[in-house]
Amino acid sequence: MAGNGHRVLERLYEKPIVSFEDVRTITGTRFQAANVIVQRLVEIQILREMTGRARNRRFLYAPYVDLFR
């Protein structure tokens, strides 16, 4: 998780809104592993779910985006 989580974090500066598919592509993992990474990043408040939906969710790199508000 740590290595893949770090890869995702590095990419969030370029693309601060991601989906599970984006994380899967960044890490080269399957959907289930990408889901674990996203959920962990949500738990530690790096990502925040922004759609309010159950499907096709998007996640915001809130601490970074908040710097510009």
65: confidence class by pLDDT, cuts 50, 70, 90: confident
pLDDT at 59 over 70: yes
- Residue 50 neighbours by CB under 8 Å, 6+ apart: 17, 57, 58, 59, 60
CATH number where 12 lies: 1.10.10.10
Question: Average pLDDT over the chain, rounded to whole?
Answer: 93
Q: What's the pTM? A: 0.88
Quote the pLDDT of residue 33: 95
The total domain count for the chain is 1
What band does 1 get if pLDDT is binned at 50, 70 and 90?
low
Does residue 50 surpass a pLDDT of 80? yes
State the residue range of the domain holding 53.
2-66
